[in-house]
Every structure is written in C-alpha cells, then in structure tokens.
Chains A and B, each alone.
Chain A
Amino acid sequence: MASNGKKDPVLVVVQLSGGNDFMNTLVPYNEGAYYDARPLVRVEQDEVLPINDTLGFNPNASRLKELYDAGNVAVVQGIGYPNSSRSHFRGMDIWHTCEPDTIATEGWVAKLIRELDPGGVQPLTGVNIGRGLPRALAAPGVTATSVGDLDNYGLMTSVEVEAERDANLEIFKRMYTPAVGAGAVMDYLSLTGRDSLAGAEILAQVPGKYTSSVEYGENPIAKSLRDVARIHTAGVGTRVFYTNHPGYDTHSHQPPVHPRLLQEMSGALSDFLQDLREHDAAEEVSILVFTEFGRRMKDNGSGTDHGSGGGAFIVGDAVKGGLYAEYPSVKPKDWLNSEDLKHTFDFRGVYGTMLKQWMGVDAHDIVGGDFEQLNPFDRTLVA
C-alpha cells in the first residue's frame, strides 16, 4: 500500500507463447477475404459471438466475451512493429526487450521492476509464475523471483533439524555475498541466491493465508493465475506478475488445439478476476495479455504459419472496455508482402500505456522512445 493510503497499481502480464492466431480469436466474420484465405482453419460465420457488425469472438472464448460485454476488456487490434520477425526466437526477444534492431540484454518488465524498486530491496517486486525466467524479466542487477511450486517453496528444505537448517542458511548468505572481482555471472548468482532466500521466507507464508470460493480450471494457465491471486491477496508487495500460456504455435492441427487454448485462457482470466473481486483486490490490478506475433493470412491446410499483426487484451475492473487501434485490413490488396496482416499499432505503445498510465512510470527509456499510447482506463491509481 502506498504511503497516502491508496493501493499501489499492479500489473499482470500473460504471455501467449508461440504466436496466437488473432484472426481466429476475434474473427472478421463478415469478410469474404478471411474465409477465402482460411478454407480450413477458420471460425464459421454462424459460430462467432458477434460484438458488432464486423467482429465476433471465437465461441471458445465465450468467457472472455462475457468480460468484454461487461466492459472489462480493451482489445488492442493489429499490434506489431515494422519488419516483423517471423522467428520465435527473435520475435519473442523483440517483444521482451523492445529492441527490434539490436540484441538487448534488458527485458522491459525488468526495467519496470528497477523503476519500482531502484535499490532492489524488495525481492518480490517482480514475480514470475512458472519455471525459468522469461527474458522480459531479466536484466543485470534486477532480481525477479520465479515460482514453480508455490506450495513447497524454500531452500534446503530437506534438512530436518531446524537449528541446523537456520545455521546453514546463515552460511549460505555469506557464500552468496557479492565479492569484488568475482565476475558478472558470479555477481548475478550471488544476488539471485540472496534474493531467492529472502523471497522464500516471505512466500512460505502465502498458501496458508488464502481461501477462495472460486474454482479454477484444471490447466496450467488457471493454476498460474490462481498462484498470482494467492500471492497478490497475501499482500507481499508484488507489483508485477508474469506468466506464460504455451502452445500457440499452431502450424498444424490448429482446429483441435487452438479452441482448447482459448477456452483455458478465457476461463482462467475470468476466474482470476472473480477471485480478486471476492478478495476486494481487483481495482488495483490490470492484466495485459499479449503474444509475439499473429499468424499468416492463409492457412496451410492444417494450421497457420508465423505472420504479423497480432492482438492484445487489457483486462481489469479499471479498464474502459472496447476496441482500440484498428483491425488490420484482411483484403488481399492490403496484405503485407502479399501474405500478412499489416499492423496498425506499435506494441511499444501498448507497453507505454501500461507503464505510464497504469503503473505511473516514465515509459520512454523502458520502451526506447515515445510511441502513441491508448486510453484504455476508466480510472487509474496514479496521478
């Protein structure tokens, strides 16, 4: 809680890994060009859940549509960046670091964590739910905590005698004190070791504090967002959460796979928001759901190849629901390189919006410039 008694804003980033097919998520169901380009991997006109005369949600995203109808979802249409990379490696790297032309070492979320906690005194400012730290959270001198299993989190937990374990942990702290001339990797290791110990001591208390009537689905993204809810409602000072929903790289067999992913994602977001509301902990949270690129206009007979022009969702109670930026034209004459959607809004403007308007920090240095922003909030907690 901020010193003036107001709650601090919290950002939850959900990464749809692999490149979500935005066109099949929010479907241009009155465009013949869409159906021409997608003879197989498509959502039929009579199946979509329309939100206006031209666009409708995939029926498997019905719970996202409910949130949209309630005014809790801002859809950012057609986001991307110039000369979109079709490589996952580069594509995700660019989204994580905001550096399309050079290889950057600092992730945008890590830079946000540094802004929020310049001295790095609070090890739980940034928390990743999952195993392995995404590049977005990595930067020299910034520690973000990665939590794979919230229910069994701690160091040397197999040492049974408590006094012995405590003494071991004191020695551990000495061994992990950054030393002059130890080198960058050893410094990183030292910092990570000390911070993870400090974080573990706090996180060990979290599961015992949480009860909820919300029953989440049995899938990884639901489990991850439930962990976000448990940590957030425990009030341990986390300002940025990050988690990952994998599987969107649907080159083949997209028809059975993509609908399941949309169901899991939509259901988890809806349950998560409900859970926060139940704990009176929703007003300070905004969720950004993004993916590294869209997919090719034409399907390949089974799935879709990497393309450009993806979409993002900003979800939360403070959100002014609706459509933002422009849906890219699906008419063949407008295709980029004769095969791709042309992006209409730079992704760095989306990050900038979340950073400046929601989190109240200067976005310029984090995203590497001034990019046009959206106005997707009814109200914010920052001046």
Chain B
Amino acid sequence: MADEKLELMAHLLRRAGAGSSRAELEEYAARPYDDVVDDLINPERFPEPDDDVLVRYFPSLVNTDTPMLWTNRWIYRMVNTKRPLEEKMTLFWHHVFATAWFKSEHGPSTQHHIQMLRENGLANMRQLLLGISHDPAMIYWLDNSENLGSAPNENYGRELLELFSMGIGTYSEDDVKNAARAFTGWTFEQPIPLYPYGGFPSRFRYEPEHHDDSEKTFLGVTGPLNGEDIIDIIVQQTATARFIARHLYNFFVADEPQVPAWSIQEPEDKGGVDEIANAFMESDGDMRVVMRTLFNGDSFKKARFTRVKCPAEFVAGTLKLSGEIREPDPQMWKLHQALAAMGQTLMDPPSVEGWHTGKEWIDGGTLMERINFAVNHVGDPNRPGTRDIVERLAAQGDSVSPESFVDTCLDLAGPLKAGDQTRQALLDHANEGGDLRFDGDAAREESAKRVARMLTLIVAAPEYQFA
C-alpha cells in the first residue's frame, strides 16, 4: 500500500528528526529527496521553534534549576520544530559529549551547554571541540576547573581523547597527560551570584597564571601547546574521523556494538562508515558535508528499522503519531518522568560514557515502560493523531475490510513494516470484529474504538521499537 518514496521519506524523517505526522510526511514526500536533505542540513532557512511561548503558560520555566522542565521543553521543540535536524544533532552530540546536571546541580549552565551544542551541531569539528572546551558545564563536569599548572587534573584531557574525539588505543598515556597540561588554566567564572538573583549561566575564563606554558609533546607535535593547539591536532587525525563517523553511523544509520568494543571490533558495514569518515577528512570535519553524505548514502537509505529508538526518539515520535503537544499542554510536564523510566534522563546521562544504545535500551523494565507510554497515548480514541487515522479510514468508504483495516493502520502509523507473525496476529484480531463500518454515528463511534485498539496493538508490537 505504501509507496517507496513515502517509505524512504518517513525513514529520513525518523532519523533526521522525531518522525512526522501523516500530513507532514506527505508534504515532504512530494519534494525531491535531495532537496529535503539540503533543507535539513541548513536549518537557518526555517524559523526557530517558538518554545518561548511555553513561559507564558509555565512561568516556573524562567528560573527552574533542574533539567526536568527543560527536558519537557526540549521534547516540545523536537515535536514542533521546522528544523528537525538541528534538534537531532543536538541530541546526537549530547550522546557523545555526555555531560550531566547532577554533579553541578546548576541548571543555567546545563541549558547553556545544550544551547551550545544546538548552535554548533552542524558546524565543523574544531568549533564543536572548542565549544565543549570553553563550556562551563563541561569544565565543571570533568574537573577542568581544577586542572592547574601546579596540579594537573587529567580528567578532561583523557575523556577528550577517549570519548569525545579519537577513541581508546589511538594515543598514549603521555598524550593524555600532555593534553591535560595544555588545558590547564581553562576554567569558568560565575559573574553574578546565584543568590538573590537566581540562576545565571557561568562564563569561560582563561587564567594564564594557572596555565602550564612549558613545552609538551602531543601526538608527535612538540611546543608550548595550549588547548587550541591540541584541538587543531585532534581534528586532523584519521582516528577522529573514524571515531566520529562510527558514532554518526551508530546514531543515524544502524546500531553498532557499544563504544568500548570499537578499538577491537571493526564495523559491520565498513564501507558505510568509511564513506562518512572520508567526507569528514575531505571537508575538515564540516558536519553539513558529513551529514549530506550520510543521508544520501546507500547504506543509510537501505537501513530501515535497523536501530532501536532511544527513549527521546521513542517519546517524541509517539507524540508525533498521537498528534499531541503541538501547543502548550499541561500533560507535557510529565514527559521527563517517562524518559527517565525508559532509561534516558536528558541532561543527566549516567556518566561521561553517555548512554549505551541499541538493544541495550531494552530490558524487561524499559520495554514495559516504552510500550505502556505508547499505548497510553496512541490507544486513546480522542488523541488528534488517532482521530486523524479514523478519518482517513472513514474516507475509504462505509465499510473497510479487516485486511485493509490492518494494513491502513500499519501504513498510517509509519509506514511500519510488520513481520508476518505480527501482521497475522493483528489480522486475526481484526477478523473477530468483521468489517469496520462508518455508516451512522453509532458505527463510527464503535469503529473509532476499534481503530484505537488496533493502534494500541501496533505500538505494542516489537516492530514499533525500531526507527
């Protein structure tokens, strides 16, 4: 029933954004694929999402000092933005440069950190690494504020290499120590006291008196290296191109083994990863070029439903399907709890490792949370998205056969590709109720309930867990 063009566009929108409503999908699918990719990687062509409007409804957003309300605001952005890739890149970099609120308990800096990722998400790698190195939330998170010439703290230097750019096994312990020395004196200041004014972001500050300006050798380069020099050297490494390419592949194309395995295990689709890494090397880490290459690549186009959705994708995508929070809505203030129960507290990753992805999102507890969330939203006949699906079925005529009922619902909920086993189970269920009828108000109401129940079963199916 669904055509290839529509399926490919739905795939792109699931990966480059939070999915789509049916109307959005049809609008995008009417345009050439390459044009849509071009728009996605140039978000400034579209207006910013108007999430400031939320403050009018929820004044506590102004001076909140926890990431909870901001998580809900972020989900609102994911659902409503005209710049889907901007939010998706922010989420991607948040996975890679995993920085948490729980250590500082300083909300404004955490927000500033996410906004920095948002503004630089499609910039080049050098700018991104400078961004995180200047970022107060990161500086505090990895103790660079305690990294002094007289007493180096190597936490940031180590993770910059191991987790943020090159990957373990591509540098020596001495490189770690010397990178750490190069970032001595990179700290932050708190320009306005927290009390009585409330929370204000901190600012980067360079303290030359605490910087170790002596000679150091990093990856074969010797000199009085400073942090910028370290970043310049890092972004030229093929190890960086490969490491970031693998992260991008794992997040946008298909699930890979977890990061610790990368120093030992080659990617399954080596060609696909190489293509991204080459684009990185050739463009000096320009993320627009890299993302264009990724989305236009065959590996990407073929990789449908090969990733387990992360909880943020699962929640935002389900809300796209149910047609909710398109406007400020009181129930959106519980969304952060749903994400946490699924194992992803945004702005509070468990550690600098970030989240383990892929099938590791799924265990007995989180699977139940995911299914219950989707059932709760899509399985209600009053949700706008569910009503829309009822309308579209009604437009097929007064009577819809059980087979068409199942296939139309699968199509409108994705298009979602159901395995034989799932489709047969759904079909047997549909057959029990016979044809879906829309002749008369009573029949319509009964059918709306049946559609909602069918959607309940569809979002509970294993296939719905994949993006």
Interface secondary structure of B, over-half rule? helix
Contact A155 B369 (CB under 8 A): no
- Given the known interface contacts A89-B260, A174-B425, the answer about A168 and B456 at a Cβ–Cβ threshold of 8 Å is yes
Contact A185 B353 (CB under 8 A): no
Q: In the assembly, what is the distance between CA of A145 and CA of B368, in Å?
A: 11
Interface residues of B in 253-281 (CB under 8 A from A): 255, 257, 259-261, 264-265
Contact B341 A172 (CB under 8 A): no
- Given the known interface contacts A148-B365, A185-B255, the answer about A131 and B162 at a Cβ–Cβ threshold of 8 Å is no
Contact A189 B465 (CB under 8 A): yes
Interface residues of A in 145-199 (CB under 8 A from B): 145-149, 153-159, 164, 167-168, 171-172, 174-177, 179, 182, 185-186, 188-190, 192-193, 195-196, 199
A residues less than 8 Å from B356 (CB atoms): 132, 135
- Given the known interface contacts A300-B146, A301-B151, the answer about A177 and B421 at a Cβ–Cβ threshold of 8 Å is yes
- A128 at interface by CB-CB < 8 Å: yes
Contact A179 B419 (CB under 8 A): yes
- A102 at interface by CB-CB < 8 Å: yes
Which of A64-72, A244-252, A265-273 contacts the other chain? A244-252
Interface residues of B in 359-410 (CB under 8 A from A): 359-360, 362-369, 371-372, 375-376, 379
- Given the known interface contacts A89-B260, A159-B456, A175-B422, the answer about A145 and B364 at a Cβ–Cβ threshold of 8 Å is yes
Interface residues of A in 43-84 (CB under 8 A from B): none
Q: In the assembly, what is the distance between CA of A144 and CA of B277, in Å?
A: 37
A residues less than 8 Å from B318 (CB atoms): none
- B462 at interface by CB-CB < 8 Å: yes
Contact B261 A196 (CB under 8 A): no
B residues less than 8 Å from A190 (CB atoms): 462
B197 to chain A, nearest CB (A): 23
Contact A302 B146 (CB under 8 A): yes
**Which of B162, B460, B465 interacts with A172 by CB under 8 Å?**
B460
Interface size in chain A (residues, C-beta < 8 A): 62
A150 to chain B, nearest CB (A): 10
A residues less than 8 Å from B421 (CB atoms): 174-175, 177, 179
B residues less than 8 Å from A301 (CB atoms): 146, 148, 151
A168 to chain B, nearest CB (A): 6
Q: In the assembly, what is the distance between CA of A246 and CA of B163, in Å?
A: 20
A residues less than 8 Å from B426 (CB atoms): 171
Contact B155 A251 (CB under 8 A): yes
Q: In the assembly, what is the distance between CA of A172 and CA of B259, in Å?
A: 33
Contact A196 B364 (CB under 8 A): yes
Contact B419 A182 (CB under 8 A): yes
Interface residues of A in 122-148 (CB under 8 A from B): 123, 128, 131-133, 135, 138, 143-148
B residues less than 8 Å from A148 (CB atoms): 341, 365, 369
**Residues 214-228 of chain B, each 1 if its beta carbon lies under 8 Å from chain A, else 0:** 000000000000000
- B79 at interface by CB-CB < 8 Å: no
- A223 at interface by CB-CB < 8 Å: no
- Given the known interface contacts A89-B259, A305-B153, the answer about A189 and B462 at a Cβ–Cβ threshold of 8 Å is yes
Contact A153 B368 (CB under 8 A): yes
Contact B151 A300 (CB under 8 A): yes
A230 to chain B, nearest CB (A): 16
Q: In the assembly, what is the distance between CA of A179 and CA of B425, in Å?
A: 13
- A303 at interface by CB-CB < 8 Å: yes
Interface residues of B in 152-188 (CB under 8 A from A): 153-155, 158, 162-163, 168
Interface residues of B in 412-467 (CB under 8 A from A): 419-422, 424-426, 429, 453, 456-457, 460-462, 465
A203 to chain B, nearest CB (A): 10
- A114 at interface by CB-CB < 8 Å: no
- A219 at interface by CB-CB < 8 Å: no
A83 to chain B, nearest CB (A): 12
- B308 at interface by CB-CB < 8 Å: yes
Contact B460 A168 (CB under 8 A): yes
Contact B429 A159 (CB under 8 A): no
Contact B260 A103 (CB under 8 A): yes
- B39 at interface by CB-CB < 8 Å: no
Give the nearest-CB partner of B162 in chain A.
A87
Q: In the assembly, what is the distance between CA of A11 and CA of B423, in Å?
A: 42
- B352 at interface by CB-CB < 8 Å: yes
A144 to chain B, nearest CB (A): 7
B residues less than 8 Å from A154 (CB atoms): 368
Contact A196 B367 (CB under 8 A): yes
B residues less than 8 Å from A252 (CB atoms): 143, 146, 153
B residues less than 8 Å from A158 (CB atoms): 372, 375-376, 379
Q: In the assembly, what is the distance between CA of A30 and CA of B21, in Å?
A: 68
Contact B343 A188 (CB under 8 A): no
A residues less than 8 Å from B199 (CB atoms): none
- B43 at interface by CB-CB < 8 Å: no
- B340 at interface by CB-CB < 8 Å: yes
**Which of A17, A145, A157, A159 interacts with B365 by CB under 8 Å?**
A145
- A279 at interface by CB-CB < 8 Å: no
Contact B365 A189 (CB under 8 A): no
Contact B453 A195 (CB under 8 A): no
- Given the known interface contacts A189-B359, A246-B350, the answer about A155 and B368 at a Cβ–Cβ threshold of 8 Å is yes
B359 to chain A, nearest CB (A): 5
- Given the known interface contacts A102-B264, A188-B362, the answer about A171 and B457 at a Cβ–Cβ threshold of 8 Å is yes
Contact B419 A89 (CB under 8 A): no
Q: In the assembly, what is the distance between CA of A190 and CA of B461, in Å?
A: 10
**Which of A17, A128, A175, A246 interacts with B363 by CB under 8 Å?**
A128
Give the nearest-CB partner of B257 in chain A.
A103
B residues less than 8 Å from A131 (CB atoms): 340-343, 365-366
18 A-B pairs besides A155-B368, A179-B419, A196-B368 with CB distance below 8 A are A132-B343, A133-B364, A133-B365, A138-B360, A147-B364, A148-B369, A156-B375, A156-B460, A157-B372, A158-B379, A168-B457, A175-B422, A177-B421, A185-B308, A185-B358, A192-B367, A249-B351, A301-B146
14 A-B pairs in the complex with CB atoms less than 8 angstroms apart: A103-B264, A131-B365, A133-B366, A146-B363, A149-B341, A159-B379, A175-B457, A175-B460, A200-B368, A249-B351, A252-B153, A300-B143, A302-B146, A305-B153
* 3 closest residue pairs by CB, A with B: A146-B365, A196-B364, A133-B363
Q: Which residue numbers of B lie inside 8 Å of A, CB to CB? A: 142-143, 146, 148, 151, 153-155, 158, 162-163, 168, 255, 257, 259-261, 264-265, 308, 340-343, 350-353, 356, 358-360, 362-369, 371-372, 375-376, 379, 419-422, 424-426, 429, 453, 456-457, 460-462, 465
Q: Which residue numbers of A lie inside 8 Å of B, CB to CB? A: 17-18, 86-90, 93, 102-103, 123, 128, 131-133, 135, 138, 143-149, 153-159, 164, 167-168, 171-172, 174-177, 179, 182, 185-186, 188-190, 192-193, 195-196, 199-200, 246, 249, 251-252, 300-303, 305
